[in-house]
């Protein structure tokens, strides 16, 4: 994976988010306190926010180029976005949520419907209504739905927030092996050092919209 973020400038309420960075690692973390601009950075990559200035490209495909007045439509970016808030479609069953982004018949067998649902242990939930799900089940289905859309990059925005410690550990283990299992690179936003150390090869530390450090999570957070 090669994610290039150049001259990014996005005005937020309390500061301007700025980034000028190339990311190559398959499991990169964005670490920082609440309100430091982590979510805004992910949303800009996904195309959900329009920056004042930026050049963003994934594997040499331009996503955003304000200099050329170009923005690749969100649906063509093939980004699997897992937000921290509830994002399952409430009027659809679990199965239909999962199939929304893909028909589950991916040529890549690792991303088949059966493999993804069994890996995330949600096979028994398929015919449930989303409003009957627990928070942990909900998050695993959101991750599965993102995977089934066969994304080129997974953006995970604090997916374990609001889960209890036991559930967090169980899903953390699954998230840790997500890349090994499906081969999809990920950007993982968190403010929890434990999550960053267990999941990420490299982290960017963000504070008030600026990247203040970059390196191995063990070195920076231990």
Q: Please identify, among the stretches 22-30, 81-89, 178-186, 195-203, the one whose residues bind other proteins according to the rule CB under 8 A.
A: 81-89
Contact residue for other proteins among 78, 128, 135, 194 (CB under 8 A): 78
User: In the complex with other proteins, which residue's Cβ is closer, 45 or 163?
Assistant: 45
User: In the complex with other proteins, which residue's Cβ is closer, 72 or 213?
Assistant: 72
Contact residue for other proteins among 31, 63, 81, 113 (CB under 8 A): 81
- Whole-number Å distance between alpha carbons of 178 and 186: 9
Site for other proteins in 47-76 (CB under 8 A): 47-48, 73-75
SS (H, E, C) the chain: CCEEEEEEEEECCCCEEEEEEEECCCEEEEECCCCCCHHHHHHHHHCCCCCCEEEEEECCEEEEECCCCEECCHHHCCEEEECCCCCCCCCCEHHHHHHCCCCCCCCCHHHCHHHHHHHCCCHHHCCCEHHHCCHHHHHHHHHHHHHHCCCCEEEEECCCCCCCHHHHHHHHHHHHCHHHHHCCCEEEEECCHHHHHHHCCEEEEEECCEEEEEECHHHHHC
Write down the least CB distance from residue 189 to other proteins, Å: 15
Contact residue for other proteins among 46, 120, 175, 220 (CB under 8 A): 46
Instruction: Indicate the length of the chain as a whole number.
Output: 222
Write down the least CB distance from residue 37 to other proteins, Å: 18
Q: Does 79 interact with other proteins (rule: CB under 8 A)?
A: yes
Site for other proteins in 146-205 (CB under 8 A): 146, 149
Contact residue for other proteins among 27, 38, 115, 145 (CB under 8 A): 145
Write down the least CB distance from residue 135 to other proteins, Å: 17
- Whole-number Å distance between alpha carbons of 182 and 27: 12
Site for other proteins in 90-109 (CB under 8 A): 90-91, 100-102
Write down the least CB distance from residue 213 to other proteins, Å: 29
Write down the least CB distance from residue 219 to other proteins, Å: 33
For tokens 């090869």, the residue is: 201
**Residues of the shown chain interacting with other proteins in the complex, contacts defined by CB under 8 A:** 46-48, 73-75, 77-81, 83, 85, 87, 89-91, 100-102, 145-146, 149
């Amino acid at each position: 994976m090669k994610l290039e973020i150049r001259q990014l400038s996005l005005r937020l309420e309390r500061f301007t988010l700025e980034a000028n960075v190339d990311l190559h690692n398959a499991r990169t973390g964005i670490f920082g306190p609440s309100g430091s601009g982590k979510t805004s950075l992910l949303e800009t990559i996904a195309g959900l926010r329009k920056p004042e200035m930026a050049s963003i490209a994934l594997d040499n495909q331009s996503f955003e180029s304000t200099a050329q007045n170009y923005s690749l439509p969100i649906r063509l970016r093939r980004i699997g976005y897992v937000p921290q808030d509830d994002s399952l479609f409430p009027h659809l069953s679990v199965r239909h949520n999962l199939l929304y982004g893909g028909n589950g018949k991916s040529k890549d067998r690792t991303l088949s419907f059966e493999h993804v649902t069994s890996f995330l242990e949600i096979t028994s939930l398929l015919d449930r209504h989303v409003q009957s799900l627990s928070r942990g089940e909900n998050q695993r289905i959101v991750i599965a739905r993102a995977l089934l859309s066969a994304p080129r990059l997974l953006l995970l925005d604090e997916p374990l927030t609001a889960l209890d410690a036991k559930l967090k550990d169980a899903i953390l283990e699954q998230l840790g092996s997500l890349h090994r299992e499906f081969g999809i690179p990920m950007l993982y936003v968190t403010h929890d050092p434990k999550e960053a150390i267990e999941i990420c090869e490299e982290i960017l530390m963000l504070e008030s919209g600026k990247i203040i450090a970059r390196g191995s999570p063990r070195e920076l957070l231990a």
